[in-house]
């Protein structure tokens, strides 16, 4: 297969996800994990706004809201992977179209993603598209915006369910764990 486009998720790939940021200091119970999963799903689908998402997240994990907000918005960990991943994005742009596809609300987009959009050929967000991963249509929209067929795309996401959604849409998908693993897997797919 010849691939013409590489698509990156933001939270958990380019920047740290809320789970990763807060999870460094907290261990979630099974009940908290279930509540947070439902909260993320509601947020991704636009049923919950940014403010309500953050307040509810802090309440679920039992962290004072002010302390949670400080960690969420000012943590240096937020972009721990960013610089190295963005360097990879820039190197890929020489030979491939590169997109960013993220389930994100407008407030988080403005704070975290807007400053880096120039690294990508196209950006698709759930709040703008009114679709959310793992829905098939959002992957198809991303491919359309990049001007390629879905079968010519590789989606990189830290969520296995989002990777399954990308595969169901006809894309190849890589479940992100570490940057080194990503580079090795990309080499295998792109050498073919």
Q: What is the percent of the chain with per-residue pLDDT over 70, rounded to a whole number?
A: 90
- Look at 38-47, 57-66, 156-165 and tell me which has the smallest mean pLDDT: 38-47
Residue 162 — pLDDT band, cuts 50, 70, 90? very high
Q: Where are the domains of the chain?
A: 5-15+78-191, 18-74
Residue 4 — pLDDT band, cuts 50, 70, 90? very high
- In terms of average pLDDT, the best of 27-41, 60-74, 111-125 is 111-125
pTM of the full predicted structure? 0.82
- The string of DSSP codes covering 64-109 is -HHHHHHHHHH-GGGGTTHHHHHHHHHHHTTTSEEEEEE---HHHI
Angle at 187 between CA 117 and CA 80, to 5 degrees: 45
5-15+78-191 CATH:
3.40.50.1000
Residue 24 has pLDDT above 90, yes or no: no
Beta-strand pair 5-8/153-157: parallel
C-alpha–C-alpha distance, residues 115 and 178, integer Å: 23
Give the per-residue pLDDT at 22: 66
Query: From edge to edge, which strands make up the β-sheet containing 97-102?
Result: 122-125, 97-102, 5-8, 153-157, 172-175
| Cβ proximity of 53 and 39 under 8 Å | yes
- The string of DSSP codes covering 24-57 is TT----HHHHHHHHHHHHHHHTTSS-HHHHHHHH
pLDDT in tens, 54-85: 899 999 998 899 888 877 776 555 555 578 89
The mean per-residue pLDDT over the stretch 43-59 comes to 84
């Amino acid at each position: 297969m010849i691939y013409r486009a590489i698509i990156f998720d933001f939270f958990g790939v380019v920047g740290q996800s809320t789970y990763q940021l807060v999870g460094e200091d907290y261990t979630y119970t099974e009940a908290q994990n279930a509540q947070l999963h439902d909260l993320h799903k509601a947020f991704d689908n636009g049923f919950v706004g940014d403010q309500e998402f953050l307040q509810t997240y802090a309440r679920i994990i039992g962290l004072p809201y002010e302390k949670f907000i400080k960690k969420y918005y000012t943590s240096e960990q937020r972009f721990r992977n960013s610089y190295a991943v963005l360097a990879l994005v820039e190197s890929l742009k020489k030979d491939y179209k590169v997109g960013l596809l993220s389930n994100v609300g407008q407030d988080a987009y403005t704070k975290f993603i807007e400053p880096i959009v120039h690294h990508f050929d196209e950006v698709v967000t759930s709040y703008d598209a009114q679709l959310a991963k793992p829905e098939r249509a959002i992957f198809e929209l991303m491919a359309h915006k990049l001007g390629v067929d879905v079968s010519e795309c590789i989606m990189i996401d830290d969520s296995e369910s989002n990777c399954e959604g990308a595969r169901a849409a006809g894309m190849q998908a890589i479940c992100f764990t570490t940057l080194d693993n990503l580079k090795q897997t990309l080499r295998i797919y792109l050498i073919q």
